Copies of this chain bind each other. A is one copy, B any other.
Amino acid sequence: MQPLKEKILSEGKVLSNEIIKVDAFINHQIDPLLMKGIGSEFCRRFSDTEITKVLTIESSGIAPALMTALELQVPVVFARKKKSLTLRNHLYESKVFSFTKKEVNHITVSKDYITKEDRVLVIDDFLANGQAADGLMDIVEQSGAHLVGIGILIEKAFQEGGKLLREKGIRVESLAKIASLEDGKVLFVD
């Protein structure tokens, strides 16, 4: 997706061979028009599927998932990384290890909001090792819902998450695939 790639080139900051900071437009400051375009693009790419629910994980997934859900006119659910005090039972639970933050997050989703009748599109900002995607897929599986696919803003194609998911037959649509961050430069796959 060209506008996202251009934004990555102009405002992304390569911090190491593995890490690019996109705080200027995705996960701290958010560019709403870019997110609207991202929502339309996911809607277009998954237009052959019937999605009843968009699932993401707090916090950075919320903006693109919301814009996708708005375009699809379906609800969006975000997995929580902490248990809410007002929502303690009746939960799907899974674990996500964050390589960036070096911590395990227990993620939860209320059983009220994903059920076996749902056809779920998972949305997240990054795909690197695939840990967050695995956790969200685990929750979809526990619910008995059908996973339509996974939509990703930025795939680090030099890490193995995307490859492993596609090998399992899961449809992964990434709007920007980064081949390399070496020498402080962003190189896209295409």
Q: How far is the CB of A55 from chain B (nearest CB, A)?
A: 10
Least CB separation from A80: chain B residue:
B28
**B23, B29, B33, B87: the one within 8 Å of A86 (CB):** B23
Q: Is A78's beta carbon under 8 Å from chain B?
A: yes
Roughly how many angstroms separate A69 CA and B23 CA in the complex, as a whole number? Answer: 17
Q: Is the CB of A76 within 8 A of B110?
A: no
Q: How far is the CB of A62 from chain B (nearest CB, A)?
A: 5
Give the chain B neighbours of A87 by CB distance below 8 A. Answer: 21, 23, 28
The answer for the CA separation of A67 and B74 in the assembled complex, in Å, is: 16
Q: Which residues of B contact A63 (CB under 8 A)?
A: 62, 66
Q: Please count how many residues in chain A sit with their CB below 8 Å of the partner chain's CB atoms.
A: 40
Q: A161 at interface (Cβ–Cβ under 8 A)?
A: no
Nearest to A65 among chain B residues (CB) is B30
Chain B residue numbers with a CB within 8 Å of A30 are 62, 66, 69, 75-78
- A77 / chain B contacts, CB cutoff of 8 Å: 28-30
Assembled-state Cα–Cα distance A30/B80 (Å): 13
Which of B35, B36, B110 makes the CB contact (< 8 A) with A28? B110
What are the residues of chain B within 8 A of A78 when measuring CB–CB?
Answer: 28, 30, 59
Q: Is A89 an interface residue (CB 8 A)?
A: no
Q: Does A49 contact B (CB under 8 A)?
A: no
Binding site for B on A (CB under 8 A): 15, 19, 21, 23-25, 28-33, 35-36, 58-59, 62-63, 66-67, 69-70, 73-78, 80, 84-87, 100-102, 109-110, 112-113
